[in-house]
Amino acid sequence: MTTVLTSASPLTAADRCDRCGAQAYLRVVLLSGGELLFCAHHGRKFEPELKKIAAEIQDETERLTADQTSAPEEER
Ligand SMILES: [Zn+2]
């Protein structure tokens, strides 16, 4: 089994949401040792569930709002 050492490396454009393939802004390190990537939309959507199974959640969604000054708020 691989132990995940969270080096908190920033997410890049190559990191893609596991659900929709959009650029990932959240990295979720699972208690089981795995890792999931989510875009801002799915990160928000699954946040309550993720908090139950995550050892750590790296949230870079604030970079989204910094990049896109006029980003419209997604429907929940
Ligand atoms: Zn997504």
Which tops the pLDDT comparison, 50 or 5? 50
Q: How far is the CA of 46 from the centre of ligand 1 (A)?
A: 10
- Give the list of residues 6+ apart from residue 31 with CB closer than 8 angstroms, or none: 53, 54, 55
Distance 38 CA to ligand 1 centre (A): 5
Which residues partner with 27 through β-bridges? 37, 58
pLDDT band of residue 75 (cuts 50, 70, 90) is low
What is the rounded distance in angstroms from the CA atom of residue 33 to the CA atom of residue 76?
A: 29
- The Å distance, Cα 37 to ligand 1 centre, comes to 9
pLDDT digits (tens, 9 = 90+) for 10-21: 899 999 999 999
Beta-bridge mates of residue 59: 26
Whether the pLDDT of residue 1 is over 70: the answer is no
What is the spatial distance between Cα 59 and Cα 39, in angstroms, rounded to a whole number?
A: 10
Inform me whether the pLDDT recorded for 5 exceeds 60: no
Q: Tell me the percentage of the chain whose pLDDT exceeds 90.
A: 67
Per-residue pLDDT for 73 more than 70?
no
Instruction: Please state, in angstroms and rounded to a whole number, the distance separating the CA atoms of residues 38 and 19.
Output: 7
CA 43 – ligand 1 centroid, Å: 7
